[in-house]
Chains A and B, each alone.
Chain A
Amino acid sequence: MQRVAITHVAQSPGVESKENLHDFTYQVNREVLDKAGLKRADVGCIISSSADIFHSGLSCANAFDWDGIGAFMKEGSRAEESAMSFIYACFRVLSGHFDTVLVTAAIKGSENPDNDAITPFYGDPFYLRPVGMNESVVAAMQMRQYMDRYGITEEQCAKVVVKNRGNALFNPYTHIRKRVSLEDVMSSDRIYDPLKALECAPKSDGVVSVLIASEDKAKKLTDKPVWLSGYGCSLDHFIPGDRNLLDGQLQAAAGRAYEMAGISDPRKAIDVAEVCEPYAFQELLWCEQLGFCKEGEGGKLIDSGITQMDGSLPVNPSGGVLAMNPYTSRGLYRIAEAALQLKGQAGEHQVGKKVKTALAHSTHGFGGQCHSVVILSA
């Protein structure tokens, strides 16, 4: 089968940008093309990812971004969630139609209302919206079930924030670079009890561009191609009450990705993971479902130190979504960060161990309605 690789990545910092979305998008896109030594005309196809009307109050879908990413007068496509835009880009190469595809995700979280004000609109207007559902409400209910069922403690959940915000100190591209202690997290306001304010991701700006190429082209463009070796995605029911919030679709998505990559023991095979954790406890729950530990042992996993930057399976060395949450772009950021770890180009947050296989995960929807898992290898 045709192979597909990530050749180059470029990303903006997560801090508030004073540029408008057009220019902000253009700058990162320009950077990735320059790194690859390509002109717009050399790129076969362009995929964009954003949710402009919903997360920006601008334009429709991502029509606003096409100029800045050079998608005009080209074949292109779009997805709102950026891990999906990545796989669409890979399909374009795997189909044999294009040698290079550029995928760019863009959002300026600093321009729009709080996530809690936006996410009620995920819900339907008949039932879920009037009873006050939003993403944080569902996360809080999921957290309480998780703690109740498995005896996971609030401290274990809070430790995820301490770890990820600690890692973020070494990532110049992240949003919030301020160390927090366990006590800081535990004493932060219980805004959605049992969820505390510091356990909820911020709202960030973020443009990330990833250049994807066929095997032949990738080898010409870079001496460090990062290969796609596995992918899986699965969607759950829309109404949270119709689902088991502790047994969603991540296991199914991961299972497909592992099978494709020929991985039977993810705990051993994965060298580093970038996991999408908009709420602290979700990193623990997702790690269980990714097979990094047994069901109900997410608390023990964080206690063991394995997922620390210097552990045997570092999770979110970039600082993760708890340090930077460019909403629709966050999945592609995870993929870009995993690629940088494989290239050995993550800078100060490069993990100490040799990275041969990396996992990137993305989720969106209430309580992890949709999950994507991407396995990359050197």
Chain B
Amino acid sequence: MPKEYRTIRGDVALPYKWALGKTWTRFFDGLKEEKILGTKCTQCGKVFVPARTFCPVCLSDMAEWVEVKPEGEILTWTFVSAKYYGQVKDPPYIIATIKLVGTDCGFHHFIGGVDLSDAKQVRQKLKTGTKVKAVWRPEKKAEILDIAYFAPLK
């Protein structure tokens, strides 16, 4: 929007190349094969996804890899209808925190396979504890979005 006073418009776009590191490389390569990989802490026994090099609780090595079932239950969620610059996709969409079976943390991803035309109905359908399952995108790129979304189990 134009302002009533003098301004200079500028946009900043800079290219970065972020190292994935050993652990996340293996995690994202796993997604390519439709596998969700976590790591288990040798001290506290907790399992985290995405896989970690070190335990966020104990700050110790997480050397043991585990394949996590691509299913879990919704801990909480939001129905996004806000619009903003640079948004990852056009609203409306649902983002949830999901507890995957056998893990000890929340996993953040989209919820799909739900009719988004009526937010009220979505509220009735999605609850804490609603069981969901990963739906894979056909073409894999070793990225988090190789999981297209999680869909409620019938």
B136 CB-CB contact with A under 8 Å:
no
For window 102-160 of A, CB contacts with B under 8 Å fall at 111, 113-114, 116-117, 120, 125-134, 136-137, 140-142, 144-145, 148
The answer for the CA separation of A132 and B149 in the assembled complex, in Å, is 12
Establish whether residues A141 and B82, one from each chain, have CB atoms under 8 Å apart when the complex forms: no
Pick the contact of B56: A57, A133, A237 (CB < 8 A): A237
Chain B residues within 8 Å of A116, by CB: 82, 84
Establish whether residues B87 and A193, one from each chain, have CB atoms under 8 Å apart when the complex forms: no
Establish whether residues A241 and B97, one from each chain, have CB atoms under 8 Å apart when the complex forms: yes
Give the Cβ gap from B3 to chain A, nearest Cβ, in Å: 8
B130 CB-CB contact with A under 8 Å:
no
Considering residues B56, B96, B106, which has the most beta carbons from chain A within 10 angstroms of its beta carbon? B106
Establish whether residues A240 and B106, one from each chain, have CB atoms under 8 Å apart when the complex forms: yes
Cβ proximity bits A231-268 to B, threshold 8 Å, 1 near / 0 not: 00000010111100100000000000000000000000
Chain A residues within 8 Å of B28, by CB: 126
Give the Cβ gap from B23 to chain A, nearest Cβ, in Å: 11
A-B CB proximity, top 6 nearest = A241-B106, A140-B78, A193-B79, A18-B5, A191-B82, A117-B85
Q: Which B residues are within 8 Å of any A CB, using their own CB?
A: 3-5, 7, 10, 12, 16, 18, 20, 24, 28, 48, 50, 56, 75-82, 84-89, 93, 95-97, 105-110, 119, 122-123, 128, 143-145
Q: Which A residues are within 8 Å of any B CB, using their own CB?
A: 18, 57, 111, 113-114, 116-117, 120, 125-134, 136-137, 140-142, 144-145, 148, 189-195, 237, 239-242, 245
A/B interface sample: 10 pairs, CB < 8 A = A117-B84, A120-B88, A128-B108, A129-B88, A132-B88, A132-B110, A141-B77, A144-B78, A191-B82, A242-B106
